[in-house]
C-alpha cells in the first residue's frame, strides 16, 4: 500500500510565488459580479479558480485541527489583489510570512501526532489484551494474534511465495483504511515484501481459508504510521488466502508474454 502526501497550502503558495515572481503585474480590472460560463475559456477559468479555492479550503480545515485559524476574507483579498497586481506585501515579505506559518503548522502537527501516537500505544495494548481472551484466538511468540474464521486444507505458502488474497484492514475503532473487497478485486504480493504481521500470519494459512489477524504496531507500521494509519496503531485484518503464486511461476508467466 502506497500513500501520496499532497503539499501543504503554505508550501504550494511559496512554490507558486517563486514561479510567478518574474511575471509582469496584471492591470487591475473592474469586479464582475455576473459569472458567465458559456465558452470553454470561461469554464476553464472558473474551473481553475474553483479548484484552487477547494484545495485551499481543505487545507484551512486541516490547519484548524491544529489550532491555526486564518481569516478567509483576508485570504481572498490577498488572492484577488495579488492577481490584479496590487499586493500590499512584497514578495520577500510573503515568503518570510509563509515560511513562518509553515513552520508553525508543522510544529503543531508534530505535537498533535505525538499525543495521538501515545494514545494509540495504550489503546493497542488494551485491545490486544481483550482480544487475546476471545475464544479461538491464538497468540504467537511475536505477539501476532490470529483467529481461524474459515478452515481449509489447501497448500500453505512460504515467505518467498507470492500470494493472492482478499482482505479488509481496519483500525481498532473499526475504521476501514484499506479493502480489496471495496475495490472489487483481490491483490497479489510477495510475502517477504509486506509488513511483518502479514509475512508471519499468511504463512499460517491454507489456500481457501479465512483468518482474522490482530497485528501489534511493532509488526505493522510502528511509530511513524503511513497514510491513513496513525503511528503506533494496532491493526485488524480479515484475510482470505485465494491462491499461491510461486516466484518461479510469476517469472514463467511474464516470459510467456
Check if 127 is active-site: no
Which among 153, 115, 231, 168 is positioned nearest to 1, based on CA atoms?
A: 168
Check if 167 is active-site: yes
C-alpha cell belonging to residue 116: 495521538
Check if 46 is active-site: no
Catalytic residue among 127, 221, 229, 244: 221
Catalytic residue among 167, 211, 215, 244: 167
Catalytic residue among 113, 177, 187, 243: 177
Torsion, CA 203, CA 206, CA 212, CA 216, rounded to 10: -10
Kindly report the backbone phi and psi dihedral angles of residue 68, in degrees, each rounded to the nearest multiple of 5, phi listed first: -105, 105
Check if 221 is active-site: yes
Catalytic residue among 55, 66, 113, 195: 195
C-alpha cell belonging to residue 35: 459569472
Check if 252 is active-site: no
CB atoms within 10 A of CB 220: 22
Check if 237 is active-site: yes
Q: Is the dihedral of CA 101, 106, 109, 111 positive or negative?
A: negative
Catalytic residue among 178, 211, 213, 215: 178
| Active-site annotation, residues | 167, 177-178, 195, 221, 237
Amino acid at each position: 500500500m502506497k500513500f501520496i502526501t499532497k503539499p501543504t497550502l503554505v508550501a504550494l503558495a511559496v512554490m507558486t510565488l517563486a514561479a510567478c515572481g518574474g511575471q509582469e503585474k496584471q492591470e487591475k480590472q473592474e469586479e464582475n459580479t455576473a459569472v458567465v460560463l458559456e465558452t470553454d475559456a470561461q469554464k476553464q477559468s472558473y474551473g481553475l479558480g474553483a479548484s484552487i479555492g477547494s484545495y485551499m479550503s481543505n487545507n484551512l480545515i486541516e490547519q484548524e485541527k491544529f489550532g491555526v485559524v486564518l481569516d478567509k476574507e483576508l485570504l481572498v483579498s490577498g488572492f484577488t489583489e495579488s492577481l490584479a497586481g496590487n499586493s500590499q506585501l512584497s514578495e520577500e515579505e510573503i515568503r518570510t510570512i509563509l515560511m513562518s506559518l509553515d513552520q508553525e503548522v508543522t510544529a503543531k502537527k508534530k505535537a498533535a501526532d505525538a499525543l495521538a501516537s501515545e494514545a494509540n500505544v495504550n489503546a493497542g495494548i488494551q485491545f490486544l489484551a481483550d482480544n487475546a481472551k476471545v475464544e479461538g484466538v491464538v497468540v504467537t511468540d511475536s505477539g501476532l494474534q490470529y483467529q481461524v474464521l474459515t478452515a481449509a486444507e489447501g497448500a500453505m505458502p512460504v515467505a518467498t511465495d507470492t500470494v493472492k488474497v482478499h482482505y479488509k484492514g481496519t483500525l481498532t475503532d473499526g475504521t476501514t483504511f484499506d479493502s480489496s473487497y471495496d475495490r472489487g478485486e483481490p491483490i497479489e504480493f510477495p510475502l517477504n515484501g509486506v509488513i511483518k504481521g502479514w509475512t508471519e500470519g499468511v504463512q499460517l494459512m491454507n489456500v481457501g481459508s479465512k483468518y482474522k489477524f490482530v497485528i501489534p504496531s511493532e509488526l505493522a507500521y510502528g511509530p511513524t504510521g503511513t497514510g491513513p494509519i496513525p503511528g503506533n496503531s494496532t491493526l485488524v485484518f480479515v484475510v482470505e488466502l485465494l491462491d499461491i503464486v510461486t516466484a518461479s511461476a510469476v517469472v514463467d508467466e511474464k516470459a510467456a508474454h
